[in-house]
Amino acid sequence: MSDKVFLTVKDLCKSYGEGGSYTQVLKSVSVKVYKGEMCVIQGTSGSGKSTLLNCIGGLDTIDSGNVSVDGTLVESLKGEKLGDYRRDNLGFIFQFYNLVPNLTVRENIQVCEYLSKSPLKMDELINVLGLTEHQNKFPSQLSGGQQQRCAIARALVKNPKVLLCDEPTGALDSKTSRDILVLLERINEEYGTTMLIVTHNNSIKNMVDHVIYLKDGEISKDYYNKVKTPASELEDL
């Protein structure tokens, strides 16, 4: 982690619907994340965690405020420039895997490998994620956990500046969850990838630099860990 602020969210407001269905999801949220940080975003369902991630990723428009990533104002980007921003800076791990059904595991990962000027070694990722024997299978032939691992490999192979993770271990058993978190920790240490991890798992907050709690669309806690627990030693995953 460096002393350079890499991501800034300032007075961010986001709502959905209108009239009787109007819902204010984020209420003047302000956050700073430093380059190379691992940051966890926690909160109950409906607190705005995934919406915050989507606004940072340019997947959702915002009502007011701004999001800046490495000096780029995300809300000012439209069309092709927004696509370029996502391609050049972001890796996404979604709660739902979003794999291409008629591509194999290897081909799904290659889709993102081709987008990067400096991809990570795909065979190493496939091996670490336990997908070597499944790399020629289609998503429909995989378990939920295997599909999630494929989605994680696809996001990581781009070697993104920012990795946005929405419940990255949600569909995985305890052992595989720990393996994934060890991998994320290693990627962060080796490549300085800034990571934002939305999770319901209360243990994951102990391995990261920065912890943010959202409650009813507002930040209720924002603090740094003085001591981090290595991912390999986390309990209750």
Q: What is the pLDDT of residue 33?
A: 96
The full set of domains in the chain, from first to last, is 5-233 (3.40.50.300)
With bands split at pLDDT 50, 70 and 90, how would you rate the model's confidence at 45?
confident
CA distances for 39 relative to 33, 133, 156, 197, 234, angstroms: 8, 32, 17, 6, 16
Query: pLDDT digit string (tens) for 137-174?
Result: 999 999 888 898 899 889 989 888 899 999 888 777 88
In the chain, the percentage of residues whose pLDDT exceeds 90 is: 54
In which residue are the tokens 């407001």 written?
Answer: 13
| pTM, two decimal places | 0.87
Asked if residue 63 has pLDDT above 80, the reply is yes
DSSP 46: T
Q: What is the pLDDT of residue 132?
A: 95
What is the average pLDDT score of the chain? 90
Q: What is the pLDDT of residue 13?
A: 96
Q: What is the pLDDT of residue 96?
A: 75
Asked if residue 16 has pLDDT above 80, the reply is yes
Task: Kindly report each contact of residues 117-122 with a partner whose C-beta sits within 8 Å and lies 24 or more positions away, as own/partner.
Answer: 118/159, 119/157, 119/158, 119/159, 120/156, 120/157, 120/158, 120/159, 120/187, 120/191, 122/153, 122/157
